[in-house]
Structure 1
Amino acid sequence: MTALKFTAPEHDAYDVILIGGAMYGSSVAWWLTQLGFDGRILVVERDPSYAMCSTAHTNSCIRQQFSNKVNVRISQFGADFVQNMRHHMNDDPQVPNLPIQSFGYMYLAETMAQAENLAQAQQVQADCGAGTRHMTADEIKAAYPFYNLDDIVAGNHNLIDEGYFDGGTVFDWFRKGARAHGVEYVANEVTALTMNTGGTQVTGVTLATGETVACGKVVNAAGPRAARVATMAGIPLPVEPRKRFTFVFAAADRLDRDLPLTIDPSGVHMRSDGLYYMAGCPPDDDMAVDPDDFAPDHSIWENKVWPVLAHRVPQFERIKLVNEWVGHYAFNTFDQNAILGPHPEVSNFIFVNGFSGHGLQQAPAIGRGTAEMIIHGGYRSLDLTSFHFDRIAQGAGFVEKAII
């Protein structure tokens, strides 16, 4: 980071300062400009190349297959936003409408207990209008004969608005749109927060270039670094960077149809990726890492991923690794769901954190909701109160069974 040239902000006070300018910082900033906020907005981003942020390393997938209705609704709005982005962005002819490659998620169950969880989740999704089917192993085999399902009893699959989309383009237009509507972005880093005497308000942020900038509200959109930012306000936040490994491979014997984003009971997932295929997984020792640690572990491909691929899809016995990378989940260790809203005591400190891998697909709805909370003090579209920080202090986790 020392090689970057930081820039100072134009003003010494802002109504909203967003710490982090990737998908969430830019989504919230853009939605503020769309929903009538007339104050001054500053986005502070430590790496304006965005090369190492979670947004840059995402696999850009979207699903409605959650077990909690609000998560289903969030992703349904995300699918609508992506596919009708030009309309949502004021019918600007330069804005593209993006397709969703709807090969769907295929959740596989190897026990009756897992199958029952999938059946219950399918009912929740159906109640929300999602197209998820609960399928027997025979039904899956008929639709996708390439699977080995000897150890599988059931699965869930949805071919409607569920699969891959171009998340990088969505981010790019959030950022462009925010800047076009007057949001100021600076390449800088927040090094400290100034609190009022009672510790109930953040009054300013100190930047790496030395300025202390006054603020009305602060939004923590720092991704895997969110806990470091919260600590500056004296707030413990259960979010940590955890590595996630992605592998792109070619198959000597290509499948005759799309490979759904298959969630194997082993924890490995795989899907079609154009002419190639993509797979990913967490490490077996899934611990917090330094947010600058992107070191690969080549043994994971050989020892964990490839054996699962060859078992689940026998045609993948002859494959060749062509690319790999490491990204970070902003992992919520409390319940693996978003942490939103104002802090109950530091009332102008707003959370947009802890998405644990769902973040990109949830950005349109949660960016909108966070902007509503800032402007109106409450939600005007989807009620996101169940994600508020209060639940952590109360020890009341948000229950979502469909965590990958």
Structure 2
Amino acid sequence: MHYDIIIIGGAIVGSSVAYYLREEGFSGSIALVERDPQFSRAATTLSCASVRQQFSIPENILLSQFTLKLFRRLREEFGADADIGFREGGYLILAGENGLPILRANHEAQMAEGADIVLEDAEALVRRFPWLSVEGISAGAYGRSGEGWFDAHAMLMLFRKALRDKNIDFITADVTGIERQGDRVTSVSLDNGERLEAGTVVNAAGPNAGKVAAMAGLALPVEPRKRNVFVFEAREKYDDMPLLVDPSGIYVRPEGSVYITGGAEPEEGEGPAVPPTRPRLAAVRRGDLAGAGNPHSGLRGDQADGRLGRPLPLQHARPERGDRPASRGRQFPVRQRFSGHGLQ
């Protein structure tokens, strides 16, 4: 079997690649290969499904703005019943005295791209959010619009449903090998015994993109890392609470009637994600979240331990420019997310 394009990885990146190839007029044959059709292990569906414009470089900001435009015309794009539960609650990134120069520099980059972000000192933040504790806080950057969170699974399903009418072959299998002839990738082998010849292979394997690249003899600095997301209940409820990021790196945001939290985890550690542990939850609670007044103070530990969220595997990679030997002529492009924000 021969395909003009084979996409390895059928979650949000792979599915959107297939979708926009068709939208841009590509009429060749496309295969979308996904080993986990329920997406139970996909970074897309395990993510916190947030979107923000508070980045330090224009490229990241512009990518988010592209997605936001899609959110604004979601029903026009995918139909009248399209709904991803987008809650435009904003991000509030806090900084102490040491982090203030970086916060200011990032804010300048965001303003240059037209992002609706305000930089406010501690006094102004308390006026905006009376529940906020600003002890040790010098300032915060708040996204008044164009930031928030949504239903990742619903977003993915919109793309997958739309692909059914775009002549895309869905293949449920695991890729076990990639063949090359010189600098060209020629075929993909699957665990069901099939061998698919390819004109172009797109690596959209998320945290496993490094493993897929290795099959083609390429070194790609992408690997899965263990990350935990905790779900907890608290006495305090703040209807206007954004996704709040403490200077320590710990984040917290509302999720319906509960909260989710995580962050400030060590960079080291390899392998698949593992179940969150009671000591890890205790470590997050000891983080002394500066903001939120704080919801951790009212945490019901027994219930929180019993309702731990699924672990979140994030990929950590550094972007590199330039073609790799087997990717010259865009014959083996990598569509890889960086810093855990690929979903947006």
Aligned partner of 1:224: which letter?
Answer: P
2:6 is aligned, of 1, 17, 20, to: 17
CA drift at 1:24: 0.8
CA drift at 1:318: 1.7
Q: Does 1:70 align with 2:33?
A: no
1:299 is aligned, of 248, 270, 279, to: 279
Aligned partner of 2:227: which letter?
Answer: R
**Contact kept in structure 2, 1:249 and 1:278, CA below 8 Å:** yes
Equivalent residue number for residue 229 of structure 1: 212
Equivalent residue number for residue 327 of structure 2: 346
CA drift at 1:265: 1.1
Alignment of 1:188-207 (within 5 A): 188-196=173-181, 198=182, 200-207=183-190
Distance in 2 (CA, whole Å) between partners of 1:356 and 1:128 is 20
Pair 1:151–1:309, CA change in 2 (3 A): closer
CA drift at 1:225: 0.9
Equivalent residue number for residue 79 of structure 1: 68
Q: Does 1:240 align with 2:223?
A: yes
Equivalent residue number for residue 59 of structure 1: 48
CA drift at 1:87: 2.1
Question: What TM-score results when the alignment is normalised by the length of structure 1?
Answer: 0.79
2:270 is aligned, of 267, 289, 308, to: 289
CA drift at 1:51: 0.5
| Range with greater deviation from structure 2 (160-169 or 55-64) | 160-169
Equivalent residue number for residue 22 of structure 2: 33
Distance in 2 (CA, whole Å) between partners of 1:109 and 1:310 is 10
CA drift at 1:323: 3.2
Aligned partner of 1:149: which letter?
Answer: V
Unaligned runs of 5+ in 2: none
Residue 352 of structure 1 aligns to a residue whose secondary structure is coil
Q: Does 1:215 align with 2:198?
A: yes
Equivalent residue number for residue 393 of structure 1: none
Equivalent residue number for residue 121 of structure 1: 106
Aligned partner of 2:242: which letter?
Answer: P
CA drift at 1:331: 1.2
Q: Does 1:360 align with 2:343?
A: yes
CA drift at 1:267: 1.2
Aligned partner of 1:183: which letter?
Answer: I
Aligned partner of 2:247: which letter?
Answer: P
2:261 is aligned, of 268, 279, 300, to: 279
Aligned partner of 2:164: which letter?
Answer: R
Pair 1:220–1:145, CA change in 2 (3 A): same
2:242 is aligned, of 256, 260, 268, to: 260
CA drift at 1:345: 4.1
What percentage of aligned pairs have identical amino acids? 34
Q: Does 1:100 align with 2:83?
A: no
Aligned partner of 1:258: which letter?
Answer: D
| Count of residue pairs brought into register by the alignment | 337
Equivalent residue number for residue 39 of structure 2: 50
Unaligned runs of 5+ in 1: 1-11, 362-404
Aligned partner of 1:37: which letter?
Answer: F
Distance in 2 (CA, whole Å) between partners of 1:18 and 1:315 is 43
Equivalent residue number for residue 139 of structure 2: 154
Alignment of 1:148-187 (within 5 A): 148-187=133-172
1:250 is aligned, of 219, 233, 245, to: 233
Distance in 2 (CA, whole Å) between partners of 1:354 and 1:239 is 9
**Contact kept in structure 1, 2:229 and 2:262, CA below 8 Å:** yes
Could you list the structure 1 runs, at least 4 aligned residues long, displaced by more than 6 angstroms after superposition: none
Distance in 1 (CA, whole Å) between partners of 2:135 and 2:164 is 54
Pair 1:227–1:345, CA change in 2 (3 A): same
TM-superposition CA deviations, 1:184-213 (whole Å, max 9, x none): 1111111111111x2x00010111122221
Distance in 2 (CA, whole Å) between partners of 1:303 and 1:27 is 37
